[in-house]
Every structure is written in C-alpha cells, then in structure tokens.
C-alpha cells in the first residue's frame, strides 16, 4: 500500500540502549519536578523502570504503568518546568516502546526525554534558550554509538511540536552529525 512505512530492524539491545539514554536525560531534571511536588515519586519511578529495562529487565505492563503514572504526575505539577520534567520521565519509560516503523514521528521516542529535559531546564532559567542549547550539547555527548545508529535508521524528526519539537530537531541534527571511531 502506498504511504505505508517500512519496518526497521530493532533488537532488544537497541531498545535497551535507547532506554538507558532516555533515562539519563530525564534523570538530569527530576529534581525540578521533586521541588515542585515533594513526595510524588511517579516520575522517578518511571526513570527507574527505564533503567531497569536497560539493564535487562522486562518490557511489560509495569513499565507502561510507570510511564502513565509520570504523565498523570505531570498534570498535577504546579509549574511548567515541573511538568516538562515529568514528561521527560514519561518519555524515558516510553522509549522502550519505540516502534520499528520508518516514520519521523518515532524519533520522539528516542529524543523526547532529552528535549523535555532541555525545556524544563530552560523554564527554570526564566525561559533562557541558551540554557536549553547547553543542555542539548551535554545530551549529545551522552549518546552512545548504538543510540546514534538507531536514530539514523529513522527519518529526520518531523516539523511542529512547539518549542519541544524544535529541541527534538536540534538534538536530532546534533546526534546525526556525530561520528564514532571504530
């Protein structure tokens, strides 16, 4: 059928590497959420679940549930920065469910946690976009060769999505430009 996306081969190890990367991105801003909502561990639980999957855990209902719980926590956040931090955690847990379809929208599963984290950092700094750019630079350096390889199997990030979409595209460009020595 015309318009159908082709399948991309993704191993469980590929998904584990993506989840580890996403969890590391989200973990950088958990304190923003926790300062806003002390005692609410749902975003931290989501990051922890992504880390467990990355270390060999199962990709089951529990992982989905922590992503959903982090999303619900975001809705209770009092500040936009805390909301973005919780979305980063939700994205980290959701990254394990990257679909093997050659669609640009799938790039958000790989880069969403990093972009939401950068946006949270910007908002804490009174919407200073240079802070987001610095955050993305650190995120690029955190990526492993496997994460970059997985990203390069997909089309470039799509347009739209507001500031987070812009951050995703910036991160996408930065990671695709990386080369690793063999």
> Tell me, what's the pLDDT at 1?
42
* Structural contact between residues 73 and 42, judged by C-beta atoms closer than 8 angstroms: yes
Q: Report the candidate in 89, 87, 105, 109 with the shortest Cα–Cα distance to residue 97.
A: 109
Q: Where are the alpha helices (DSSP H) in the chain?
A: 12-27, 30-36, 42-54, 61-76, 80-94, 107-124, 129-142, 145-152, 162-176
Rg over CA atoms, the chain: 15
> Tell me, what's the pLDDT at 179?
83
What CA–CA distance (Å, rounded) separates 142 from 110? Answer: 13
Residues of the chain with pLDDT under 50: 1-2
* Structural contact between residues 104 and 153, judged by C-beta atoms closer than 8 angstroms: no
> Tell me, what's the pLDDT at 4?
60
Other CB atoms within 10 A of residue 181 CB: 4
> Tell me, what's the pLDDT at 5?
67
> Tell me, what's the pLDDT at 182?
55
pTM for this prediction:
0.95
Q: Report the candidate in 68, 162, 76 with the shortest Cα–Cα distance to residue 123.
A: 162
* Structural contact between residues 44 and 34, judged by C-beta atoms closer than 8 angstroms: yes
């Amino acid at each position: 059928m015309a318009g159908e996306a082709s399948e991309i081969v993704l191993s469980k190890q590929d998904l584990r590497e993506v989840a580890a990367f996403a969890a590391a991105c989200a973990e950088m801003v958990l304190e923003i959420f926790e300062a806003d909502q002390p005692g609410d561990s749902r975003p931290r639980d989501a990051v922890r679940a992504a880390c467990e999957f990355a270390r060999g855990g199962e990709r089951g209902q529990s992982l989905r549930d922590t992503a959903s719980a982090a999303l619900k926590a975001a809705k209770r956040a009092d500040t936009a920065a805390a909301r973005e931090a919780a979305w980063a955690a939700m994205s980290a847990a959701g990254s394990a469910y990257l679909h093997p379809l050659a669609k640009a929208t799938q790039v958000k599963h790989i880069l969403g946690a990093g972009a939401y984290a950068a946006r949270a950092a910007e908002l804490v700094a009174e919407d200073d976009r240079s802070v987001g750019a610095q955050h993305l630079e650190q995120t690029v350096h955190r990526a492993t060769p496997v994460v970059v390889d997985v990203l390069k199997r997909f089309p470039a990030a799509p347009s739209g999505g507001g500031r987070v979409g812009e951050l995703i595209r910036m991160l996408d460009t930065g990671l695709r430009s990386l080369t690793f020595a063999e």
